[in-house]
Structures are given as structure tokens and as C-alpha cells.
Amino acid sequence: MSEKTQRAVFATRIGAVATTVGSAVGLGNIWRFPYEAGTHGGGAFMLFYILFIFILGVPVLCAEYMLGRGTRKNVFGAYRVTQPKGSQWHLAGVTGILASILILSFYSVVAGWTVEYFFGSVSGALTNNPSQDLHERFAEFSGGTWRPLIWTWVFLLTNFVVLLRGVTKGIEKVSNFLTPMLFVLLVIFCINSLTMSGAKEGLEFLFRPDFSKIDSKVLLAAMGQAFFSLSLGLGCMLTYGSYFSPRTRVVRTAVTTAGLDTLVAILSGVIIFPAVFTFGMSPSAGPTLVFEVLPSIFNNLALGRVWSSLFFFLLILASLTSTISMSEISIAFFVEQLNMKRTTATIVNTSIAFVLGSLCALSFGPLSDFTIFGMTVFNLFDYVSSNILLPFGGLVVSFFVGWKINSKFIENELTNHGQDSCHVKGALTICLRYVAPIGISLIFLNTLGII
Ligand code: TRP
């Protein structure tokens, strides 16, 4: 059997979009976006986040898709077969693989919180007592030992089981029906938030940039969030691109993915911030923000328990399609480069995340005093991977595809070997050669205080 026929291909073209949207849409939009926006001044962050999605995110997304689909390999292998002889670009693939496991570790903790809140909603414990202090409640739960640990493990095991079922079957089936449902629910909650007394204040916070708040931290955070939300920089979208069919339109798929992903983040912001101001909370509460604000929304909603259960259930599934995509990066590498069996590869991936994830789960409680560079393990993993490793990976992939790869390869990927037309090749090339590498470098240098 040739190598091409051995690899899985997404069954339908809609499947390809649904799956990459499934990867992109997750806790990054619903949990991370509001907390990052909240701690970085709202509107100022939002402005740069949107800008970075389109000038950096979409081009890098195209680059990853092209490199994946054109080589039909994992991130390490894709660099290896396209790089000029003797160069070492595939080492960027290794960084991606390591970083993907770091992200999986802390992501599973937050997904675990979602599982706790789902069961709390179903049992009524979360919504039955509207007068409870939600800040206290969350601090007590996340600061404990066993519950955060067990939910992290439960989530990782679920991820493990879905992964063992393979690419096209397991993943495509779940994501095809799930993302649209989550979307409908978000629109309903959005309308609800817009009727709150703090709606005006919330929307102003999110959409009116206060230019005095713009500094290097805001720029770095907005760039990190753009990459995180689009699952970029580690080879995740590259790996998914390698499962695309030869007919999938690269640019169109990238724009659709980025557009839908951004829409979900904005919806999430429009749900959260009006509620923050209505209930007198602080927008800059950090990683715990959403878990304190959402229950107060549900408490004030007719049939709150039903909405809340449904929402947390869909959020668990959305997180699962994202963790599946992260895990796929290292699994494809272990299987294709190290010749492991898929089952062994999945066990290795899950075991590492089990250990690191447990450390992250404990960093709100027993390990909260254990800090490195002044950050807990959880915050360190989140900061280093999102703000440094992802943009760095994006810098490498854009530079590589822009400068190092044969231009015929790009032409073939953009036009599906001449079958389709592509009018944006020039603009895309400019973004990949200049805008993305220079933009990302400038933000790094700015953060380091060099410029
Ligand atoms: N984009 C996902 C989210 O918003 C998270 C994610 C999935 C991710 N795969 C990734 C982030 C790869 C970085 C790299 O929830």
C-alpha cells in the first residue's frame, strides 16, 4: 500500500471545515478570551486580537494547511520532506509536539472544571442557591485536591477513548453536530445578556478601546490569544490539513474557520461582560472569571438549571474536539516518525498529560505557593505556550512557507493543482514573507523591551 492510501482522509468537505472549526472553537473562545480581554483592558485587547486574527492568523492558518495537505505528513515529517537539504526546520516540529502536550495538560484542568460545573448543574447544586458567593464557591472547589484532580483525569480518559477510535470516525462524527448546537445556545445567551442592566457598560468595556491601555503586554496577549484560539503554531492545523481531501479549498477553509472562531469569541465576550457589570464583578478576575460569571447568569434565568446543564455539556464536547486536535499532533508524530502503534502513541500522549495535568490541577490549591518565575505551574504553562511557543511556531511556519518552500508547491496547494482559481496568492505571499514574520518579531522585541 502506498503511503498516501494508508492515511486517513476526512470523508466530506464539510467534514474538513467542521473538524477544523471543532479544533479552533473551545475553551480558548469561551474561557480564555473573556479572561484575557478582561485583564488586558477590554476594547484595546479586542482591537488587536481581531487585527492579529486577520493579518497573522489567517495567513499562518493557510501556511499550516498547505504544508500539511501538500505533504500529507505530521508536523515533523512535513518540514523534513520540504526543507532544503541539510537544514533543520523540522526541529520546529519538535517544539510544536512538546508544546502541544503542555497545552493539553492545563487545558484538561479547565475542561475538568467544566465537567464539575456540568454535574453541579444537573444535580441543581450550582443553581439552587442564588445567594451563594460564586467567587468563594469556585475558589473552594478549584483550591481542593481531589475534585479538580479527578475531573482532569476523567476528561483525559474521555479524550483517550475518543482518540483510539481514529481520525475520521471518532472526530468527524462528534464535531459535525456539536458546533452548530453550541452556537445556537451562545446566541440565546447573548440576547439574554443584552437585556441586562449592565449591558451598556459591558459592551463599552469590550468594544470601546481605551488607547491609553495599549502596551507591550496587551499586544503580546492579543497575539497569543489569536494563535491559541485558532489552534495555530504547533502544527495542529498542519496535521488536520494533512487529512484534507485534494479538493478542499485552502484559503476558503482558513477564512471560514477564522471567521466562525472569532464570532464565537465575540459572542462569548458579549455574554460575559454585561453580566460582569450587572452583578458587580471584576472583569480582571483572571482564569476563574467565566466560572464565576456564568453561574450568576444561569441563576437569573428561567429554567437556569436546564440551560446551564446544556451549556456545560456542549462546552465539554467543544473542549474535547479541541483536545483531540492537540493530541493528534503528537500521536501522528509518534506513529509516523517513531513507528509506534496508534494505541501506544495515544497511551504515551495521555500519560504525560496525566502527570503534567495533575500538577496544573493542584496549582490552585496545594501547589499554589509553588511558583516558577512568579507563576504557578498552571499559569506558567499557559503563558509560555500561548504567548511564546505558539507565536514562535507561527513565525517559523510563515517564514518557511514564505521563503523556503518551492513556489510551485504553494501554487499547487492554492489552486488544487490547477483545478481551482486563486486570486489571493500575491497577498498571501506578502503576509507570509513579510507581515507575519516581521509583525511577530516586533511584538517579541517589544515585550523584551528592546524596541
Ligand atoms: N483553539 C482551541 C481553543 O480555542 C485550543 C487548541 C486546540 C489549541 N488545538 C490547539 C491551541 C493547538 C493551540 C494549539 O480552545
For residue 232, the ligand 1 atom closest to its alpha carbon is: 14
Q: What's the pLDDT score for residue 5?
A: 42
Are the beta carbons of 327 and 341 closer than 8 angstroms? no
Enter the pTM of the model: 0.94
What is each CA distance from 62 to 59, 124, 360, 432, in whole angstroms? 5, 45, 32, 9
Q: For 146-150, which contacts have Cβ atoms below 8 Å and span 24 or more sequence positions?
A: 147/116, 148/109, 148/112, 148/113, 148/116, 148/361, 148/362, 148/364, 148/365, 149/358, 149/361, 149/362, 150/112
Are the beta carbons of 364 and 148 closer than 8 angstroms? yes
Q: How many angstroms does the Cα of residue 234 sit away from the middle of ligand 1? A: 9
Q: How many angstroms does the Cα of residue 424 sit away from the middle of ligand 1? A: 26
The residue whose grid cell reads 451598556 is 200
Q: Say which DSSP state 371 is in.
A: E
For residue 326, the ligand 1 atom closest to its alpha carbon is: 9
- Give the mutation target among 29, 103, 382, 387 for probing the ligand 1 site: most ligand atoms within 8 A of CB: 103
What is each CA distance from 282 to 205, 277, 364, in whole angstroms? 12, 8, 19
- Ligand 1 atom 4: the closest Cα is on which residue? 28
For residue 261, the ligand 1 atom closest to its alpha carbon is: 4
Radius of gyration of the chain (CA): 21
Q: What's the pLDDT score for residue 18?
A: 84
Q: How many CB atoms lie within 10 A of CB 419?
A: 10
Q: For 261-265, which contacts have Cβ atoms below 8 Å and span 24 or more sequence positions?
A: 261/21, 261/24, 261/25, 261/29, 261/53, 261/229, 261/230, 262/50, 262/53, 262/229, 264/25, 264/29, 264/30, 264/182, 264/183, 264/186, 265/28, 265/29, 265/33, 265/49, 265/229
pLDDT per residue of the chain (451 residues) written in tens, 0 to 9:
344 445 778 777 777 888 899 899 999 999 999 999 999 999 999 999 999 999 999 999 999 999 999 999 999 999 999 999 999 999 998 889 999 999 999 999 999 999 999 999 999 988 776 667 788 889 999 999 999 999 999 999 999 988 887 655 665 676 677 778 899 999 999 999 999 999 999 999 999 999 998 999 999 999 999 999 999 999 999 999 998 999 999 999 999 999 999 999 999 999 999 999 999 999 999 999 999 999 999 998 999 999 999 999 999 989 998 999 999 899 989 999 999 999 999 999 999 999 999 999 999 999 999 999 999 999 999 999 999 999 999 999 999 999 999 889 999 999 999 999 999 999 999 999 999 999 999 999 999 988 7
